Structure 1
Amino acid sequence: METGVRLALLLFVGVIGLSIGQAAEIGPASKLDRKVAAECAGSYGLDKNHIIDIGPMDEMGGDLVFLDSQTLREGHLHQVAESEFVAGPTLGVDEPVTIRITFLRDRQNQIDALRWDGAGIRNAIAKRIAPHKTESVEVRNGDVVLRGELLVPATSARHPAIVLAHGSGPATRHAGVWNVFFVRLGMAVLSLDKRGAGESTGNWRAASMDDLASDWLAGVTFLKSRSDIDPKRIGVHGSSQGGWTAPLMAARSSDVAFMIVRAGSGTNIADTILHEIEWSAREKGLPESEISEGMAAARVAMTMMVRGASTDEYDAAMKPYRSRDSWPDNFPLIDERPRGQNWIRLNAAYDSVDSVRKIHVPILLFLADNDHNVPTAISAPRLRQAFDDAGNHDATLIVLKNAAHGFLSTPTGNNKDFAKQSHFAPGYWDTMEQWL
């Protein structure tokens, strides 16, 4: 029974909209109460080397997701009783139940442990670890008000901190396990609703990469003002689209002390969009001759939008292509709405490599070899050359094997296979933990 497929596909769907500002909206509202989700979120230790991280993820409808640090299993948790949650065998398949988690409360009625049943472990108790406080915060960047949450370890020291630079679309503070993963490493974590998403003001659809980078940099400035944060140890983790904005941040401000990028393209935005379209067409099984012809039309459309062609001029040039069977769906640049045209005009020329060449702080950058959204084969050598051009000897690039855009293990990277995925590819979580 694949009742979770639609929600799951919202996580890492590789359609063109993820790049150009036409992304699918966040999934249907979760039935899970926000207060319950906040109570359950955290890290739980089955033993010192076996951690279960749990957090709400709005891209999964606000439901809880978990990460098993030992097996790298990621699961979508469904509430079946007040304190009981279950997961199926993969992110998109809910039955049969393979994981059962029951949250346990102490005498003060606070969740202090969970009971884990699944993956070869029966009825094991995992105690809550990495205590921290979570604050609702507000950050201003000009007229834009960004609201979100700050997680701070429950110790008296001044903490290193990390700002989460989210991916495309209306991303929010509820980023799944990333928030609690970083806080259990002893870091403060600032996760803001993207402008125009969640409780933040503004409009992400009309934003440039510069606009978004300045939003996240406002978060860095906010962290510097706090007495519990070490101002010299504030970094950024950029995911997907955040792989364009994080380098802008680090190139622009000496306040960014380190940068981690997950699945960020090393080409300009125009070429990344064209890569997405071509991969999707090939995944659909279109004949190579049609792909070649359709991509030629898509490149013409891209060139027209980048140079600022009027909507009338663009429509006239694209009209012959739109009459061809399924072409507007298979090669969406030929039928782009004015809003999308404006976004491309604003952003298509931006290339992260231009920023990486100016960065001298430590960099840890991950790519996936089967990435529907990012042209990894082109990106990797360009980014490595940018490290050399900058003279940055503390820059590392890792290409994860058999990994899709979201770093889940897959031999294909195709969107249609997302529902079958259940584990992260090795080398991301453990490398980050060691590096930090």
Structure 2
Amino acid sequence: MRNCLVIVMGLLLTLGALGVYRLTDFTLPTDAQQHTLQVDYQQSRLEGTLIVPHGVVSPPVVLLVHGDGAQDRWSDGGYLPLVRYLVSQGIAVFSWDKPGVGASQGNWLAQTMDDRAHEAAFMLQQLKQMPELAASRVGFLGFSQAGWVVPDASAFAKADFAILVGAAINWRDQGSYYLRQRLSREGMSEQNIREAVARDSIDFATQFTPQAALRPCQVSCNRDDFERRNAFADARGAIARMHTPVMILMGKDDRNVDPQETLAVWAADLPANTVRCIKPVAGATHGLLRSRWFDYQLPSQWPLWKQGVFLLSGQYAWAPGALSGITDWIHTGTCTQ
């Protein structure tokens, strides 16, 4: 009996120590230099944080480009395991609060995807002007909605590389796919799903027109304005003009964006001479987390115990090979994922 108690206590202590170790993934690295940057951009002041690995001369720098929503620089802490991993691999990371979020002024709901592309390009150019980064390679790592941002931003700022995770192609098509996936998860029959998607398409055509997309907001832009002004976003034109070396990673179990469509469009439309790594990631979600554990459309749908799993997993919440594949691309342009 005593031996059993010793074993159980030892197991509990081991699990507790492992949990504490994993939780450090959700803190900023203490063995790196942190710089708070404030820049004035179009009548607003934007703020972000640059983290530079200690002792690395002219490290490559990656700018994080958010997906949808009111996201602060670290996406409520969700980015931190990724950030710590990148820094541990000798990569500097910069991210900033969206306009009107955190310490940044403005209103992200007033932005079109073109506005976001110019803002991201401006931020990259600001980093390139820093003396300590003058010899660094600088590029983008964007998520989801960044699929409409990064291709143009890379050209505007002459980025050295780009990475997109869960990149969308067409606003309308993405909405239909998202709806289909949601209704399927709710157990709706295929016939009813087809009818619901058809009704949604009719509603879209009724509510949104190219003319309405050009209409300015009445006072302060809200969510309806944001969707109206971006309803005809499509990445194909920017993809066809893109010459920045680019990595496209799509989780095979993505429930938000059709991975097959994105991979096919990028493979077909990207100029033939553009260096690329276009790959599906097995067992991965929209954000490349392990789909076996996190098979949801939104983090807000996670039950409390899944949130606990994420906190205890840290970097291991990501699908195997996803993070190392990203770092290989940043350092060497090698397509190893």
**TM-score normalised over the length of structure 1:** 0.60
- Equivalent residue in structure 2 for 1:355, among 238, 243, 250: 238
Q: Residues 35-434 of structure 1 correspond to what in structure 2 (within 5 A)?
A: 98-100=15-17, 116=21, 131-155=31-55, 157-174=57-74, 175-230=79-134, 233-254=137-158, 256-265=159-168, 267-307=169-209, 339-387=222-270, 390-410=271-291, 413-415=295-297, 419=306, 423-434=317-328
Runs of 5+ consecutive residues of structure 1 not aligned to the other structure? 1-94, 103-114, 119-127, 311-337
Letter in 2 for 1:352: A
Letter in 2 for 1:363: V
- Deviation of 1:220 after TM superposition, in Å, equals 0.8
SS in 2 for 1:194: coil
Against the structure 1 CA distance between its residues 232 and 385, is the aligned structure 2 distance closer, same or farther, given a 3 Å change threshold? farther
- Select the structure that is richer in strand: 1
SS in 2 for 1:396: strand
SS in 2 for 1:384: helix
Question: Deviations 1:358-395 (Å, cap 9, x if unpaired)?
Answer: 111211110011111101121111111122xx123410
- Following TM superposition, where does structure 1 have runs of at least 4 consecutive aligned residues deviating by more than 6 angstroms? none
Against the structure 1 CA distance between its residues 231 and 273, is the aligned structure 2 distance closer, same or farther, given a 3 Å change threshold? farther
Against the structure 1 CA distance between its residues 294 and 429, is the aligned structure 2 distance closer, same or farther, given a 3 Å change threshold? same
Contact 2:82-2:323 within 8 A present in 1 as well: no
- Deviation of 1:309 after TM superposition, in Å, equals 8.5
Against the structure 1 CA distance between its residues 386 and 427, is the aligned structure 2 distance closer, same or farther, given a 3 Å change threshold? farther
Against the structure 1 CA distance between its residues 346 and 129, is the aligned structure 2 distance closer, same or farther, given a 3 Å change threshold? closer
1: CA distance, partners of 2:14 / 2:181? 33
Against the structure 1 CA distance between its residues 100 and 286, is the aligned structure 2 distance closer, same or farther, given a 3 Å change threshold? same
SS in 2 for 1:196: coil
Against the structure 1 CA distance between its residues 116 and 347, is the aligned structure 2 distance closer, same or farther, given a 3 Å change threshold? closer
Letter in 1 for 2:256: N
Contact 1:168-1:241 within 8 A present in 2 as well: yes
- Deviation of 1:232 after TM superposition, in Å, equals 5.9
Contact 1:150-1:189 within 8 A present in 2 as well: yes
Contact 1:171-1:197 within 8 A present in 2 as well: yes
1:112 — aligned with what? none
- Deviation of 1:407 after TM superposition, in Å, equals 1.4
2: CA distance, partners of 1:347 / 1:202? 18
Letter in 1 for 2:165: R
Against the structure 1 CA distance between its residues 417 and 201, is the aligned structure 2 distance closer, same or farther, given a 3 Å change threshold? closer
- Select the structure that is richer in helix: 2
1: CA distance, partners of 2:160 / 2:93? 14
- Deviation of 1:304 after TM superposition, in Å, equals 2.2
Letter in 2 for 1:198: G
- Deviation of 1:101 after TM superposition, in Å, equals 5.4
1: CA distance, partners of 2:183 / 2:222? 23
- Deviation of 1:162 after TM superposition, in Å, equals 1.4
2: CA distance, partners of 1:304 / 1:339? 19
Question: Deviations 1:333-376 (Å, cap 9, x if unpaired)?
Answer: xxxxx944422221122222321211112111100111111011
